[in-house]
Amino acid sequence: MIIQALDIKLVIGLVANGKMIKLKDLLTEAWLTHKGKTMWFPAHTKPTMDMISMRDHIAMYPKQMESMFGKQPISSFHVTSPDHIRQLGKIIGKKKTISTFTRANNDSPLAKGRGIQTGQGGVIFYMKGTLLAKRWMDFDTLPDKTGRRWIAGHYIAGDRQTFTKAYEKAGIPKKREKLFNKIYDIKKKYEEQWMEDDEAMPYDKYQKMVEKESGPHINQFIKEFFDWQNKWLQQNKEAIKKNLRTPEDKPTAWWNEILIYDTKVVDAFVMSRVTKEPYWEHPNGKPGSWQIDMLKYVPKNKITIGTPAKFRKWYNAREGVIDQV
């Protein structure tokens, strides 16, 4: 059974930061806490229920891919902004995936050392890791809070009908509708009790009862989805190998995307503009907070500082490709 502890904790009504997690937050994008603490999550992070409800996405993760293809080492680049350096500690050396690249179009932000989700960028890591999936152009993968990567089914199957038809045939939409109707009935039952006597059924208790009773139903739905999707992935192993493990390497007007995990930083490049910020280095020459964060992952003698032109030379020397498309 492939289901993370977070999914279980999501559905039994826990308290986060002193406030009860509302059921609506379990089923939408609003809740950004984990184990009772406010957490930073990668850009586009979505909860499991939200991803399943998209109808055209499927989860991929290290253990699953290793069982199908073994471990494939790979080297690639990751661009971030200096204020996000610290967050890499949640990913580096772990099974959580990170989006990287090895080729970018000359006019793209990445070719200039700028980020995609992190805006200004300016900090480029050269990494080694294990391949989860890759494609010759960005394929809009979405991480969830457990570290899984959700990928549109057509990128795996190679067309826009195969996965959607399988999803419908498995009855996922009908099961989701049945689940939401069940939750509605549970909510209505306790809401009536709360409305009739808010002393015997105070609002906090009403919320707890709804979440406690809804939990097993949500949990079962998630389990059934993952049981089904893992079978579908096994049945489409050759398509995964062709489209997301050994895809054609060709130029793009954007950049390629390579998902890796168990990452290790080899060395890094920092744009000169970043080092001129007060958070990089103090006037007395001592490291500022950004440099301190960076030194946790890469020694100072492995950090190159320079202009965009110097960055491109550094990037090319590590077999990074800049396409003129």
- Among the candidates 223, 242, 261, a domain finishes at 242
pLDDT band at 54 (very low <50, low <70, confident <90, very high): confident
Residue-number span of the structural domain to which 93 is assigned: 73-129+244-323
Q: Which domain-ending residue is among 192, 226, 242?
A: 242
**Which 8-state DSSP code applies to residue 79?**
E
Position 147 in a domain: no
Contact criterion met (CB below 8 Å) for 143 and 97 = yes
Q: Which residues pair with 242 in a beta bridge?
A: none
**Is there a contact between 302 and 267 (Cβ–Cβ < 8 Å)?**
yes
Is 142 a domain residue?
Answer: no
Mean pLDDT of 265-274: 97
Euclidean distance between CA atoms 168 and 5, whole angstroms? 27
Judge whether 139 and 279 are in contact, CB under 8 Å: no
What pLDDT shows up at residue 149?
Answer: 92
Render pLDDT for 217-258 as a digit per residue (tens, 0 to 9).
988 999 999 999 999 999 999 999 999 998 888 888 899 999
Q: Which helix or strand (DSSP H or E) is residue 124 part of? A: strand 123-135
Least Cα distance to 73 among 239, 237, 262, 214 occurs for: 262
185-195 in b/e burial notation, b at 16+ Cβ within 10 A? ebbeebeeebe
Q: Is residue 198 part of a domain?
A: yes
Report residue 128 as tokens. 């080694």
Residue 5: per-residue pLDDT:
33
Token pair in block for residue 115:
């980020």
| Same structural domain, 260 and 192 | no
Q: Would you place residue 119 in the very low, low, confident or very high pLDDT band (cuts 50, 70, 90)?
A: low
Q: In the structure, what pLDDT confidence band is assigned to residue 286 with cuts at 50, 70 and 90?
A: confident
Give the 3-state secondary structure of residue 40: coil
Return the closest-CA partner of residue 139 out of 6, 237, 247.
247
The pLDDT of residue 39 is 38
| Distance, CA of 261 to CA of 259 (rounded, Å) | 7
48 and 171 belong to one structural domain: yes
How many domains are there within the chain?
2
pTM for the full predicted model: 0.80
Tell whether 91 and 223 lie within a shared domain: no
**Cα angle, residue 7 at apex, residues 6 and 11 outer, rounded to 5°:** 110
- Domain identity same for 259 and 210: no
- Tell me, yes or no, whether 293 and 280 share the same domain: yes
Same domain, 173 and 291: no
Q: Is the pLDDT of residue 11 over 80?
A: no
Distance between CA 44 and CA 96 in Å, rounded? 15
- Report residue 254: phi and psi, to 5°: -120, -100
Is the confidence at residue 23, as pLDDT, over 50?
no
pLDDT value for 13: 34
Task: Output the six-digit token pair for 249.
Answer: 């390497």
Instruction: Please give the structure tokens belonging to residue 166.
Output: 């399988």
In terms of Cβ atoms closer than 10 Å to its own Cβ (0-12, 13-18, 19+), residue 264 is middle
Burial level of 248, CB count in 10 A (0-12/13-18/19+)? exposed
237 lies in the same domain as 259: no
Considering the domain architecture, whether residues 176 and 204 belong to the same structural domain is answered as yes
Contact by Cβ (8 Å): 17, 219: no
Is 136 part of any domain? no
Same domain, 203 and 168: yes
Q: What pLDDT, in 10s, does the model give residues 152-171? A: 999 999 998 999 999 999 99
pLDDT at residue 92 greater than cutoff 60: yes
Q: In terms of domains, do 91 and 38 share one?
A: no
Give the residue from 181, 208, 242 where a domain finishes: 242
Provide the pLDDT confidence category of residue 19 given band limits of 50, 70 and 90: very low
Task: For residues 260 and 194, state if they share a domain.
Answer: no
- Flag whether 262 is in a domain: yes
Residues 223 and 248 in one domain: no
Percent of the chain with pLDDT over 70: 85
For the record, the structure tokens of 140 come out as: 């809009």
Q: Which amino acid is at 157?
A: A
